[in-house]
Amino acid sequence: MRRVRYHENGGPEVLRLEHTDTPAPGPGEILVRTEAVGVTLPVVRKVREGGLPLPASLGGEVAGKVTAVGPEVTGFAVGDRVTGLCFSDGYADFSVLGAAMVSPVPEGASAADAVALVRSGLVALGAFEAARPTQGESVLVTGAASGVGHLAVQLAKARGAGRVVAAVSSPAKAEFVRSLGADEVVTYGDDSWGEPVDIVLDAVGGELLTPAMAALAPGGRLVAYSSGGGTLQAYDLLVGAKSAVGFQIALIARHRPELLEQWRRELWELFAAGRLRPRVHAELPLEEAAKAHEIIESRANLGKVLLRP
């Protein structure tokens, strides 16, 4: 089979397409013939910044058909359509996934739908829940055109937000986020982000945390779910009785799997009802993984970027 690995850290140019044997699933694992792979900013950053022994393969959100089932696996069979998170050799023709990280793809949904919706949707919905929203509150979403952000905008509307503000890096993205249901659009460089909001869902971090906190009304809540880091000043919290909370989907998956399943059902129900539509910016073949990373690094994407082995 083919897979993408990198032998040194750097930009997209370090990615290499290689050939290797097709793996076999071990206990508690399933083998999936990969039909779609989601490309995410944390994975792109890991390639550039390091942190894994080299050479390294890339994990990812994958969807496809089960071709083999390892010992001790129940609930899945060869031929099932599934999606899940793969921590190694995700950019490959075949991927081995832990059965606990896998869920079925319902009829009527494509592999692209599944990859664009499930993992990113779980992050978006979980971040929104972490803010403890009430009906009619206003919400601002940073990174609103991203794979997660474009779902967060739709989920906020579906959950009854009174006003949804989309914050994006460029005015060129305004039409896209408005098509998702955003009531207002601001760009990061604007002097003001408009009337204060009750909730900020921040997918960017870094220097953007300061204006994101300033966008909150007194008593407002900021949820940080970015891998971009950044620092908040305690005074900025105190002066308006504001609060900030971090959200990580991995903790929910480890400690509250029943909640994760509840959120997953809600995502598919909203999808089936036409109230949540994942958007795909680009679908590229495996050999163009470097181009996919370039799109993500440049923040040019409107929705999800996929590889299609």
Task: Give the model confidence (pLDDT) of 210-265 as tens digits.
Answer: 999 999 999 999 999 987 777 888 877 888 889 999 999 888 888 898 999 999 99
Q: What is the pLDDT of residue 177?
A: 97
Asked if the bond preceding 12 is cis, omega within 30° of 0, the reply is no
Output the CA–CA distances (angstroms, integers) from residue 7 to 2, 83, 264, 275, 293, in the order listed: 16, 28, 36, 43, 16
In order of 137, 204, 243, the CA distances from 219 in angstroms are 12, 22, 7
Beta bridge partners of 197: 216
Per mean pLDDT, which range of 53-57, 68-72, 254-258 is the poorest? Answer: 254-258
Count other Cβ atoms within 10 Å, centred on residue 114: 28
Query: Apex CA 182: angle with CA 176 and CA 187, to 5°?
Result: 70
pLDDT of residue 176: 97
Q: Is 40 left (phi over 0), alpha (psi -120 to 50) or beta?
A: beta
Which residue ranges make up each domain of the chain? 2-105+279-307, 120-250
Structure letter (DSSP) for residue 216? E
Closest CA to 214 of 204, 230, 200, 229: 200
Q: What is the pLDDT at residue 147?
A: 94
**Separation between Cα atoms, residue 176 and residue 101, nearest integer Å:** 32
Mean pLDDT of the chain: 93
Residue 194 to residue 184: CA distance in whole angstroms = 9
202 has a pLDDT exceeding 80: yes
Predicted confidence (pLDDT) at residue 171 exceeds the cutoff of 80? yes
The Cα–Cα gap between 137 and 261 comes to 26
Q: Encoding tokens for residue 26? A: 């071990």
Decide if 2-105+279-307 and 120-250 have a common fold. yes
Predicted confidence at residue 112, as pLDDT, reads 95
pLDDT single digits (tens) 2-12: 999 999 999 99
Reported as a single tens digit per residue, the pLDDT across 115-166 is 999 999 999 999 999 999 999 999 999 999 999 999 999 999 999 999 999 9
Size of the chain in residues? 309
CATH architecture of 2-105+279-307: Alpha-Beta Complex (3.90)
| 181-192 average pLDDT score | 93
Amino acid 240 reads G
CATH ID of 120-250, from 3.40.50.261, 3.80.30.20, 3.40.630.30, 3.90.180.10: 3.90.180.10
Which one has a higher pLDDT value, 17 or 249?
Answer: 17
User: Which one, of 144, 206, 140, lies nearest residue 173 by Cα?
Assistant: 144
Model pTM score = 0.92
Bridge pairing between strands 15-19 and 280-284: unpaired
Q: Concatenate the DSSP letters of all residues of 175-205 into one string.
A: HHHHHTT-SEEEETT-S--SS-EEEEEESS-
State the Cα–Cα distance between residues 199 and 91, nearest whole angstrom.
35
